[in-house]
Chains A and B, each alone.
Chain A
Amino acid sequence: DADVTQTPRNRITKTGKRIMLECSQTKGHDRMYWYRQDPGLGLRLIYYSFDVKDINKGEISDGYSVSRQAQAKFSLSLESAIPNQTALYFCATSGGPGEQYFGPGTRLTVT
C-alpha cells in the first residue's frame, strides 16, 4: 500500500461548488503539506501543518482552507470553487529535513 494516499484522484466540479480533497499517510510524519501544480509555474505551497494543532498558510492560501483531523489526515477544502483553481493538487509529508513524500495527486477541473 502507498504511504501517502489522496482521494479522489480525479474530480470535475462546477463553479461555486464546495469540494474537499483528502490525504492520508502511514509514514507517521508530523509535517504535512498541500501544493498545487500548474504548467509553467511549478509546485506552490497552499498550506502546511506541523501537527494537529498547528496550521500555517503557504504562498497561495486564498480560496482554500484545511483541516488536520489527526496526525495521519490532512484535508484541503475549496469553499466555492472557481475555474482558476483547476490544477493538479499534491499532498506531501516530511519526517526530517529536506525529504518530502508526495501522494499521487488529485487532478481537479472546475468548469
Chain B
Amino acid sequence: RKEVEQDPGPFNVPEGATVAFNCTYSNSASQSFFWYRQDCRKEPKLLMSVYSSGNEDGRFTAQLNRASQYISLLIRDSKLSDSATYLCVVSTDGGFNKFYFGSGTKLNVKP
C-alpha cells in the first residue's frame, strides 16, 4: 500500500473555477503535511504547509483531517498559471528527515 495516494487526474477546469484535490495517507503517526507544485519537467516547489486548523494562502486553502487521514487543497478563481501537477507530501518525523510524496494530481486550467 502506498504511503500517500492521490487521484492522478487530470482535472480540466475553466479559468475562474474552483477545484479541490484530496490526498490520503496510510501512516497514522504522520506529523507534517505539505502541498508541492511541479510544473512539467521541472523540479517540485513547496506551495504550502498544511496545519491542523487549516490554512489559507491567497486563493489556496489547505485542510487536514487526521481522523480520516486525508488532506485537501482548494484552489479558488483558477488561473491559467495554476496548471501544474500538485504533490501531496507527508512526513512522519515532523518534516525533518523523511518525506513521502504522492504521485501527484494534474490540473489543466483552460481559457
A pairs with B:
yes
List A residues at the B interface (Cβ < 8 Å). Answer: 31, 33, 35, 40-45, 48, 50, 56, 58, 90, 94, 96-100, 102-105
Specify the main secondary structure of chain B where it touches its partner: loop
B98 touches A58 (CB 8 A): yes
What residues of B have a CB within 8 angstroms of the CB of A90 in the complex?
Answer: 43-44
Given A43-B101, A45-B98, are A100 and B4 also a contact pair (CB < 8 Å)? no
A98 touches B97 (CB 8 A): no
Most chain B CB atoms below 10 A, which of A42, A56, A99, A104: A42
Which B-chain residue is minimally distant from A33 (CB atoms)? B99
List B residues at the A interface (Cβ < 8 Å). Answer: 4, 8, 32, 34, 41-46, 49, 87, 91, 94-104
Given A31-B97, A98-B95, are A103 and B103 also a contact pair (CB < 8 Å)? no
Shortest CB distance A86–B (Å) = 15
What residues of A have a CB within 8 angstroms of the CB of B41 in the complex?
Answer: 105
Shortest CB distance B105–A (Å) = 11
